[in-house]
Chains A and B, each alone.
Chain A
Amino acid sequence: MCHESVGLVARALERAGIPTISVFIQAFAHIAGRLRVPRVLVTPHLMGRTVGPVGDRARQREVVEGALRLLEEASVPQTIRDV
Chain B
Amino acid sequence: MTFEQFRKAFYYGRFADMQFKFLAGMDDDPAAEAVAEVLARLGEAFDTGDLTPVRDAVYRAQVAAYVGDDTPEVDDAPFTAMTSSLAETRLALVSAGGVFRIGDDPMGPDGPTQHESLKLIKDFLRSSPTLSLIPKETPDSALTARHPGYDALTPQRDPGTVFPLAVLRELEAENTVRLADQHYAFTGATSQVRLREQVAPQWAQRLLADGVEACLLVAT
Contacts and interface: CB of A to CB of B under 8 A. Distances in A.
B219 A24 contact: yes
B79 interface: yes
Interface residues on B, range: 35 or more
Interface stretch (B4-12, B30-38, B105-113, B162-170): B162-170
A13 B207 contact: yes
Contacts of B149: 1-2
Contact of A35 (B18, B71, B147, B207): B71
B203 interface: yes
A4 B192 contact: yes
Interface string B147-189: 1011110110110111110111011000011000000001011
A10 B86 CA distance: 18
A18 B69 contact: no
Contact of A36 (B66, B77, B204): B77
Interface string A32-69: 00111010000011111111111101001101110110
Contacts of A50: 97, 161-162, 218-220
Contacts, number: 228
Given A34-B74, A72-B82, A20 B157 contact: no
A81 interface: no
A9 B203 contact: yes
B215 A18 contact: yes
Given A54-B157, A65-B171, A15 B204 contact: yes
A3 to B, nearest CB: 4
Contact of B94 (A9, A27, A44): A9
Interface of A: 1-28, 30-31, 34-36, 38, 44-55, 57, 60-61, 63-65, 67-68, 71-72, 75-78
Given A1-B189, A12-B200, A47-B62, 13 more contacts: A1-B149, A5-B186, A8-B195, A21-B216, A24-B219, A26-B59, A35-B73, A47-B220, A48-B152, A64-B171, A64-B216, A67-B216, A72-B85
Give the top 6 A-B pairs by smallest Cβ distance, nearest first.
Answer: A2-B188, A12-B200, A16-B204, A5-B188, A77-B79, A6-B219
